[in-house]
């Protein structure tokens, strides 16, 4: 009876150590998937005769971890500006174009890409939107899809300070 208990305990301990070793070798989630974020947000607002212009740029940071199984093809979905606290949409759709890159964009295993997006300044906003933008703390919100995540949408958001207020 005691010999069976010892064998069982010994087997479970060996399996636990082996499994723990395998899991420890996997690394963090970011090392096997696509990591994405918004950064270098430089947006400003200016009141003009015909309306309010939102101008500037921001970057989308993309990195496929070194232990990922494959590269990832990233597609931009949408970008907007919301209030930081309530998430109220102030600018539901930002017209932003990539500068120096074309989407869908392929990111290889272990590769980092930083893509600058520049706002289309031909889109005018109502003066009331400019007032609302200057009255609150803001977040830039974006959505992307990538093939490494089976095409599921990933939400990105980053607080920022709007210039020109």
- Please report whether residue 165 resides in a domain: no
Record the tokens describing residue 109, joined without a space: 């295993």
Helix (H), strand (E) at residue 11: helix 2-25
How many structural domains are present in the chain? 2
Query: Does 96 share its domain with 151?
Result: yes
The reply to whether 100 and 67 lie within a common domain is yes
pLDDT, tens digit, for every residue of 59-76?
999 999 999 999 999 999
Assess whether pLDDT exceeds 90 at residue 157: yes
pLDDT in tens, 92-129: 999 999 999 999 999 999 999 999 999 999 989 988 89
Determine the 3-state secondary structure of 43 from DSSP: strand
CATH code of the domain containing 86? 2.60.40.10
- Shared-domain flag, residues 11 and 58: no
What is the rounded CA–CA span in Å between residue 141 and residue 153? 13
pLDDT at 18 over 80: no
């Amino acid at each position: 009876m005691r010999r069976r208990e010892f064998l069982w305990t010994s087997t479970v301990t060996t399996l636990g150590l082996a499994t723990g070793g395998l899991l420890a070798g996997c690394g963090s989630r970011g090392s096997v998937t696509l990591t994405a974020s918004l950064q270098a947000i430089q947006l400003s607002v200016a009141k003009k005769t015909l309306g309010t212009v939102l101008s500037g740029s921001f970057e989308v940071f993309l990195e496929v971890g070194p232990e990922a199984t494959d590269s990832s093809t990233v597609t931009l979905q949408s970008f907007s500006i919301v209030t930081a606290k309530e998430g109220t949409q102030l600018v539901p759709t930002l017209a932003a174009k990539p500068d120096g890159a074309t989407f869908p964009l392929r990111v290889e295993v272990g590769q980092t890409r930083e893509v600058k997006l520049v706002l289309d300044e031909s889109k005018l906003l109502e003066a009331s939107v400019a007032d609302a933008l200057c009255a609150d703390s803001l977040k830039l919100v974006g959505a992307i899809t990538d093939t490494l995540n089976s095409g599921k949408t990933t939400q990105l958001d980053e607080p920022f300070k709007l210039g020109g207020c």
